[in-house]
């Protein structure tokens, strides 16, 4: 787990997106953390189950396992009565639902069904000779009924069928769920948001990239929002 | 109105191709209806198609069904604009 900023004051826990998107935006997330530290805001960037340096295999994880990992990463600060805020990038917004947070800030949140469509298209692209079925494409029909369903390999990630099923119904936190929530999106994304900002979708790039200008702009937004929440 | 829709879709698809495929501004601006895409543009491989379609869905608020995805819709920039126009008109 990476830590940035002071030992006192509000703490921001950052949730990276799931799967390959995590690699594409990790450097960008670190740039946001550094910019927040320069503004006096502390952050942690945990490796959640199945991500980064985690010893837990992704293929063993449901979405609740990963969300539970985010909760565990924040528990120490919560128990120390530190004010705690969640910052999530893309499908990271699916992972902050179990944690006790004083507020949630989401950048370009992606819901589960959209991510599942993305994964299916990638899987289909990797095996164009096989037409995937509409809904149960990630189950292997050859698996005996009394055997667990094997994980599905998609672009180097072995993903459990339980996690894929979770995605089909899972959505990010909403205002109706309670507590402060701020949503920021790119100008190119017309979905409702508290703010739209200029920048390119780093998670669509073939190679990991960074955008320091956007990272600083978002750090300003996060720091201002936390200051408002703390009043 | 239909012309305005086409202009908006054209501009959105142009910027989406630029962002997803990493095209230069000049290459994106030079796309015309006859510019061939899938099979002719080296950046647009099968994997890139997956990300491109999801990004188009987000930017235009549409849903592209799997059985609608074929070589024809990605044959040229004009074909892609026409396909997306049929989705946004529904």
- On whether the CB atoms of residues A173 and A101 are closer than 8 A, the answer is no
Asked if A191 lies within 8 A of B15 by C-beta distance, the reply is: no
Asked if B48 lies within 8 A of A155 by C-beta distance, the reply is: no
For residue A35, give the nearest of A162, A205, A217, A187 by alpha carbon: A217
With contacts defined as CB-CB under 8 Å, which chain B residues touch A155?
Answer: 47
With contacts defined as CB-CB under 8 Å, which chain A residues touch B44?
Answer: none
Confirm or reject contact between A193 and chain B (CB < 8 A). no
The beta-strand segments (E) located in chain A are 2-4, 11-15, 42-45, 84-89, 103-107, 152-154, 157-159, 181-186, 195-197
The pTM score is 0.90
Asked if B54 lies within 8 A of A128 by C-beta distance, the reply is: no
Interface predicted TM-score (ipTM): 0.77
Residue A78 C-alpha, separation from nearest chain B C-alpha, in angstroms: 35
Confirm or reject contact between B62 and chain A (CB < 8 A). no
Residue B3 C-alpha, separation from nearest chain A C-alpha, in angstroms: 20
Tens-digit pLDDT string for chain A (231 aa): 899 999 999 999 999 999 989 999 999 999 999 999 999 999 999 999 998 888 899 999 999 999 999 999 999 888 888 999 999 999 999 999 999 999 999 999 999 999 999 999 888 877 777 778 877 888 887 888 888 888 999 988 999 999 999 999 999 999 999 999 999 999 989 899 999 999 989 998 877 889 999 999 999 999 999 999 998
Asked if A188 lies within 8 A of B16 by C-beta distance, the reply is: yes
């Amino acid at each position: 787990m990476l830590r940035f900023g002071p030992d006192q004051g509000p703490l921001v826990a950052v949730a990276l997106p799931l799967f390959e998107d995590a690699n594409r935006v990790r450097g960008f997330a670190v740039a946001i953390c550094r910019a927040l530290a320069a503004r006096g805001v502390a952050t942690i960037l945990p490796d959640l189950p199945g991500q980064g340096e985690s010893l837990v295999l992704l293929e063993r994880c449901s979405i609740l396992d990963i969300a539970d990992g985010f909760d565990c990463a924040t528990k120490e600060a919560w128990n120390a009565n530190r004010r705690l805020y969640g910052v999530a990038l893309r499908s990271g917004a699916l992972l902050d639902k179990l944690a006790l947070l004083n507020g949630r800030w989401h950048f370009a949140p992606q819901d589960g069904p959209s991510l599942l469509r993305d994964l299916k298209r990638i899987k289909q692209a990797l095996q164009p000779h096989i037409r995937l079925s509409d809904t149960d494409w990630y189950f292997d029909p050859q698996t005996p009924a009394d055997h667990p369903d094997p994980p599905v390999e998609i672009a180097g990630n072995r993903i459990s069928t339980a996690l894929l099923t979770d995605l089909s119904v899972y959505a990010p936190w909403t205002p109706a769920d309670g507590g402060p929530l701020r949503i920021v999106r790119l100008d190119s994304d017309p979905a409702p948001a508290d703010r739209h900002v200029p920048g390119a979708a780093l998670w669509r790039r073939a190679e990991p990239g960074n955008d320091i200008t956007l990272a600083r702009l978002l750090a300003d937004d996060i720091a201002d929002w936390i200051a408002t929440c703390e009043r | 109105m239909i012309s305005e829709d086409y202009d908006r879709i054209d501009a959105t698809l142009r910027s989406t191709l630029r962002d997803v495929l990493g095209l230069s501004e000049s290459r994106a601006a030079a796309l015309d209806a006859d510019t061939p895409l899938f099979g002719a543009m080296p950046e647009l491989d099968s994997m890139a198609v997956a990300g491109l379609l999801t990004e188009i869905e987000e930017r235009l608020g549409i849903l592209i069904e799997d059985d609608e995805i074929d070589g024809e819709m990605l044959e040229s920039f004009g074909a892609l604009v026409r396909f997306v126009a049929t989705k946004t008109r529904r």
